[in-house]
Structure 1
Amino acid sequence: MVGLDPAEVASPFRALPLGSALPLAVIGGVLLALSFPSPGWWFLAYPAVACLLVAVMGQRSRRAAWLGYLAGAAFWIPAISWAGRYLGPVPWFALALLEAAYLALGSVAIALAYRWVVRVVPSTAGRVWGLPAVVAALWTGREWFSGSWPYGGFAWGRIGLSQSQGPFAHLAAYVGVLGLTFVVVYCVAVVVSLALVRPTVPGSGFHLSGRVAVAGLLVGAVLAVPAWPTAVDGTIRIESVQGNGPAGYFDGAQPGEVLAAQVAATDVAAKGVDLVVWPEASAEFDPRQQPVVASALDSVVRSVGAPIVAGAITQTPSGVLHNTSFVWTSQGWQSSYDKKRPVPFGEYVPDRWFFSKLAPSLIGLLQRDYTPGTKPNVLSVAGIEAGISICFDIVDDGLTTDMARGGAQVILAQTNNADFDGTDENLQQLEIARMRAIETGRSLVNISTVGASQVIDPSGRTIDRVPAYTATSMVTDVPLGTSTTPATLFSGSLTLLLSLGGLLVLLACAPWSRRRRQRIA
Structure 2
Amino acid sequence: MSDSPARPRPILPLWAATIAAALAALLMNLAYPETAVWVLAFPAAALLLVSLIGRRAGGALLVGLVYGILLFALLVSFTARYLGPIPWIALSVVEGGLTALALILTALAYRWLPRALPGTSGRLIVLPVVIAALWVGREVFVGTFPYGGFPWARIGMSQAESPLAPVSSWVGVSGLSFLMVLIVAMLIEVVRLGAWRRPLRLIAPAVLAVVLVATPQFPTTPSGSMRIAAVQGDGPTGYFDRREPFSVIDAQTEATVPLYGEDVDLLVWPEGSLDADPFQNEALARRMSLISTRIGAPLLANAATGRDERYFNTSMLWTDAGAERRIHDKRHPVPFGEYVPDREFFALLAPDLIGLIGREYTPGRNLPVVDVDGVEVGLAICFDVIYDDVITEGIGAGAEVLVFQTNNADFRGTDENLQQLAFARMRAIETGRSVVNVSTVGTSQIIRPDGTTVAHLDAGEAGAMLEDVELRSGLTAGVVLGPWIQQVLVWGGLGALIVAWWRARRR
Find 2:406's aligned residue among 402, 415, 421.
415
Residue of structure 2 equivalent to 1:260: 250
Deviation at 1:104, TM superposition (A): 1.0
Question: What secondary structure is seen at the aligned counterpart in 1 of 2:259?
Answer: coil
Question: What secondary structure is seen at the aligned counterpart in 2 of 1:333?
Answer: strand
Residue of structure 2 equivalent to 1:148: 144
Is structure 2 residue 429 aligned with structure 1 residue 438? Answer: yes
> Cα 1:12–1:193, aligned 2, differ >3 Å: closer, same or farther?
farther
For residues 159-178 of structure 1, the aligned pairs below 5 Å read: 159-178=155-174
Deviations 1:11-68 (Å, cap 9, x if unpaired)? 4974321232121111111101111112111110000000000001111110011011
Residue of structure 2 equivalent to 1:455: 446
Residue of structure 2 equivalent to 1:356: 347
Find 1:227's aligned residue among 200, 217, 220.
217
CA distance in 2, matches of 1:367, 1:432: 29
Is structure 2 residue 232 aligned with structure 1 residue 249? Answer: no
Deviations 1:377-427 (Å, cap 9, x if unpaired)? 111113311111111111111111000000111111000000101111111
Residue of structure 2 equivalent to 1:282: 273
Structure 2 unmatched runs, 5+: none
Find 1:237's aligned residue among 216, 227, 231.
227
Is structure 2 residue 334 aligned with structure 1 residue 338? Answer: no
The 8 Å contact of residues 133 and 492 in structure 2, kept in 1 or not, is answered as yes
> Cα 1:37–1:206, aligned 2, differ >3 Å: closer, same or farther?
closer
CA distance in 1, matches of 2:143, 2:204: 34
Deviation at 1:369, TM superposition (A): 0.8
CA distance in 2, matches of 1:8, 1:311: 62
Residue of structure 2 equivalent to 1:69: 65
Find 1:488's aligned residue among 479, 498, 503.
479
The 8 Å contact of residues 13 and 114 in structure 1, kept in 2 or not, is answered as no
Find 2:263's aligned residue among 261, 272, 281.
272
The 8 Å contact of residues 50 and 188 in structure 1, kept in 2 or not, is answered as yes
Question: What secondary structure is seen at the aligned counterpart in 2 of 1:82?
Answer: helix
> Cα 1:474–1:164, aligned 2, differ >3 Å: closer, same or farther?
same
For residues 8-23 of structure 1, the aligned pairs below 5 Å read: 10-11=6-7, 14-23=10-19
CA distance in 1, matches of 2:200, 2:506: 35
Residue of structure 2 equivalent to 1:201: none
Structure 1 unmatched runs, 5+: 1-5, 199-204, 517-521
Residue of structure 2 equivalent to 1:197: 193
Residue of structure 1 equivalent to 2:293: 302
Is structure 2 residue 203 aligned with structure 1 residue 207? Answer: no
CA distance in 2, matches of 1:230, 1:51: 38
CA distance in 1, matches of 2:457, 2:53: 46
The 8 Å contact of residues 223 and 473 in structure 2, kept in 1 or not, is answered as yes
The 8 Å contact of residues 405 and 439 in structure 2, kept in 1 or not, is answered as yes
Residue of structure 2 equivalent to 1:46: 42
For residues 500-511 of structure 1, the aligned pairs below 5 Å read: 500-511=491-502
The 8 Å contact of residues 391 and 416 in structure 1, kept in 2 or not, is answered as yes
CA distance in 2, matches of 1:326, 1:510: 53
> Cα 1:411–1:431, aligned 2, differ >3 Å: closer, same or farther?
same
Deviation at 1:214, TM superposition (A): 5.6
Residue of structure 1 equivalent to 2:367: 376
Deviation at 1:88, TM superposition (A): 1.6
The 8 Å contact of residues 309 and 327 in structure 1, kept in 2 or not, is answered as yes
CA distance in 2, matches of 1:106, 1:129: 22
Question: What code does the residue aligned with 1:94 have?
Answer: A
CA distance in 1, matches of 2:268, 2:144: 30
Question: What code does the residue aligned with 1:255 have?
Answer: P
The 8 Å contact of residues 376 and 398 in structure 2, kept in 1 or not, is answered as yes
CA distance in 2, matches of 1:405, 1:52: 37
Deviation at 1:211, TM superposition (A): 6.2
Question: What code does the residue aligned with 1:104 have?
Answer: A
CA distance in 2, matches of 1:319, 1:98: 32
Deviation at 1:153, TM superposition (A): 0.3
Find 2:100's aligned residue among 89, 99, 104.
104
The 8 Å contact of residues 4 and 118 in structure 2, kept in 1 or not, is answered as no
CA distance in 1, matches of 2:196, 2:37: 32
Find 1:131's aligned residue among 107, 127, 132.
127
CA distance in 2, matches of 1:37, 1:176: 20
Is structure 2 residue 157 aligned with structure 1 residue 157? Answer: no
CA distance in 1, matches of 2:4, 2:87: 42
Question: What code does the residue aligned with 1:37 have?
Answer: P
Question: What secondary structure is seen at the aligned counterpart in 1 of 2:77?
Answer: coil
Question: What secondary structure is seen at the aligned counterpart in 2 of 1:477?
Answer: strand
Deviation at 1:87, TM superposition (A): 2.0
The 8 Å contact of residues 12 and 197 in structure 1, kept in 2 or not, is answered as no
The 8 Å contact of residues 8 and 115 in structure 1, kept in 2 or not, is answered as no
Greater CA deviation, 123-132 or 17-26? 17-26
Deviation at 1:208, TM superposition (A): 7.3
Residue of structure 2 equivalent to 1:95: 91
Question: What secondary structure is seen at the aligned counterpart in 2 of 1:90?
Answer: helix
Deviations 1:267-313 (Å, cap 9, x if unpaired)? 23352111100001202222232222122212211211111100111
Residue of structure 2 equivalent to 1:116: 112
The 8 Å contact of residues 433 and 471 in structure 2, kept in 1 or not, is answered as yes
> Cα 1:61–1:8, aligned 2, differ >3 Å: closer, same or farther?
farther
CA distance in 2, matches of 1:86, 1:445: 28
| TM-score (normalised: structure 2) | 0.96
Residue of structure 2 equivalent to 1:3: none
CA distance in 1, matches of 2:16, 2:261: 61
